[in-house]
Amino acid sequence: MPEVDQEGKDYGINIPVKTEGFFLKGASALDWGMKNRFSRIFNPKTGRTVMLAIDHGYFQGPTTGLERIDLNIVPIAHYADTLMLTRGILRTTIPPTYQGGIVLRASGGPSILKELSNEQIAVDIEDAIRLNVSALAVQVFIGGEYETQSVHNLTRLVDMGNRYGIPILAVTAVGKDMARDARYFRLACRICAELGAHYVKTYYVPDGFATVAASCPVPLVMAGGKKIPELEALKMTYNAIQEGAAGVDMGRNIFQSESPAAMIQAVRAVVHENLSPQEAYELFLQLKHQKT
């Protein structure tokens, strides 16, 4: 039996207990485990994140730049705060020594050959826990043919996420016939947040993005979208951050870049160091030429 220790004496009577707030908006009432997982996704020092989206294969197959994730993505993964991917790629290709956050694609079903909004929940919560993920991502098709079904996918995941302390990322999907404007994104992002999403991924629009971010009570991360020239992508990143985004979830504008390693470092500099687009582009060129 251990010896009885002496009774404590230093209780700090005159020192108030600190109650620290949490660095993400809309997250102060979350439980410890969910906040801890959020701290793997977002950098606590800046309150921002650079997510590297590599989940495109779940409906597109081996798209350009993702033919060999072991060759194209693993070497640059450490530059990302978080990877967004499927459980198949996580298990088969990503080293378990990876220290960043993992946001797991949790919805799926149709391929690019079918109606994309007809998704179902595609991951069991127990498998997500087994994989030690930081968050689960679900596509939400506001205005789509299967809008209600996708919303129910979100709410079911939110219930499970709240039960087990796993944040849920709602990804606003835009159909080919829908207008990509601030009015639509205000609607889609607010609906996702109202129904319990812990953070939202959406597209940048030059006219009114600040209103999209301001009207959403949880963090927004900007979707990278289709491949555009590097300087334009850096300008889009800068503008989104300045107008209220808490980070980016970028894929094609990184892994389809002339130099993915240089590009992700330039994006990081904009997100975490507030570099201007021109400064970040000069950094991109410098890093690109160093490699060659």
> Cα 272 to the chain's mean position, in Å?
15
CA distance linking residue 193 with residue 187, whole number of Å = 10
Residue 226: active-site member: no
Out of 201, 226, 227, 288, pick the active-site residue. 201
Best CA proximity match to 284, nearest among 238, 209, 243, 231: 231
DSSP string, 73-128: TGGGGGG-SEEEE-HHHHHHHS-TT--SEEEEE-EE---TTS-TT--EE-S-HHHH
Residue in 188, 47, 64, 161 with CA at minimum distance from that of residue 104: 161
Active site residues: 201
